Copies of this chain bind each other. A is one copy, B any other.
Amino acid sequence: MYDVIAFDADDTLWHSEPLYRATEEAFCGLLAGYHDAEAAVEALHQAEMQNIRYFGYGIRMFALSMIEAAIELSGGQIPTRDIQSIIDMAKGMREAPVRLFEHVEDVLASLSQSHTLMVITKGDLIDQEDKIARSGLAGYFTHIEIVSDKTSDVYRALLAKYSIDPRRFLMVGNSLKSDILPVVAIGGHAVFIPYELTWAYEHVTIPDEEDPKQYTELEHIGLLPEHIRQTSDG
């Protein structure tokens, strides 16, 4: 049924968003003297949205956005030692341990015996390479592709590069916007594994006409091998 199974990385193979949320909380703590947490988070998210075009995704963009939001929220009064703290928090994020989801290692070990596996992840080259290396999972993947955006065009180009027929390609991920809809749009298969926390930027509204769903939703990655067995038999 599938020649190649590709996985998103952040919040699909390992937890990522909780690290951002924890840093966000520390950020709100620094700004508590000026604004409540809700206003601080709102200003931070606005800075992030504006900064994607300049600074892309990942920890460095997040750090620069926190600094800008802190200056704005404090009316310029934030002490420079707090700005240094923000940079230190970003360094801490880069060194945080990679926490795999339950079942991930078993699932990859099993599927890698019957399928070509790859990672297709969006974000910072160094963030992602470093996490893949430290995850201990690199050996399961034949190809690792780190892209700056996940559109249908990007998937189409990747599949062409590796001569993969979309009808024999399965993408697994936690973002409808980045992992599921663009793959379905080019005739590929997709398994959506929602994550309790999803970055606001990744939220999409799915138009009604997209039903019946052209993708499968699973509760956790441990159910993936059984799903693949079933669709392969079908």
A positions within 8 Å CB-CB of B: 54-56, 59-61, 63-64, 67-68, 71, 74, 76-81, 83-84, 87, 90-91, 94-95, 124-126, 129, 146-148
Given contacts A60-B64, A125-B148, A148-B129, whether A81 and B76 have CB atoms under 8 Å apart is yes
- Starting from the known contacts A55-B60, A64-B64, A126-B148, 17 additional A-B residue pairs (CB-CB under 8 Å) come to A54-B94, A55-B90, A55-B94, A60-B60, A60-B64, A63-B64, A64-B90, A68-B87, A71-B80, A74-B80, A76-B81, A77-B80, A78-B80, A80-B83, A125-B125, A125-B146, A125-B147
Chain B neighbourhood of A129, CB < 8 A = 148
CB of A20, distance to nearest CB on chain B (Å): 16
A64 CB to closest chain B CB (Å) equals: 6
Q: Given B56, B59, B63, B77, which contacts A124 in the complex, CB threshold below 8 Å?
A: B56
Contacts of A79 in B (CB 8 A): 76
Copies of this chain held together in the complex: 2
List chain B residues, Cβ under 8 A from A94.
54-55
CA A142 to CA B90, docked complex, whole Å: 36
Chain B residues with Cβ below 8 Å from A67 are 67, 83, 87
Name A79's closest neighbour in chain B (CB-CB): B76
| Sample (17) of A-B pairs whose CB atoms are under 8 Å apart | A54-B91, A55-B90, A55-B126, A56-B125, A60-B64, A64-B87, A67-B83, A71-B81, A71-B83, A71-B84, A74-B80, A76-B80, A77-B80, A80-B80, A125-B147, A125-B148, A129-B148
Nearest CB in chain B to that of A92: its residue = B54
**Interchain CA distance A79-B79 in the complex, whole Å:** 9
Q: Which residues of B contact A126 (CB under 8 A)?
A: 55-56, 148
For the complex formed, measure the closest distance between the CB of A44 and the CB atoms of chain B, giving whole angstroms: 14
Across the interface, name the chain B residue whose C-beta is closest to A147.
B125
* Closest residue of B by beta carbon distance from A61: B60
Closest CB pairs A-B (n = 3): A56-B126, A60-B60, A125-B125
- Smallest CB separation, A187 vs chain B (Å): 25
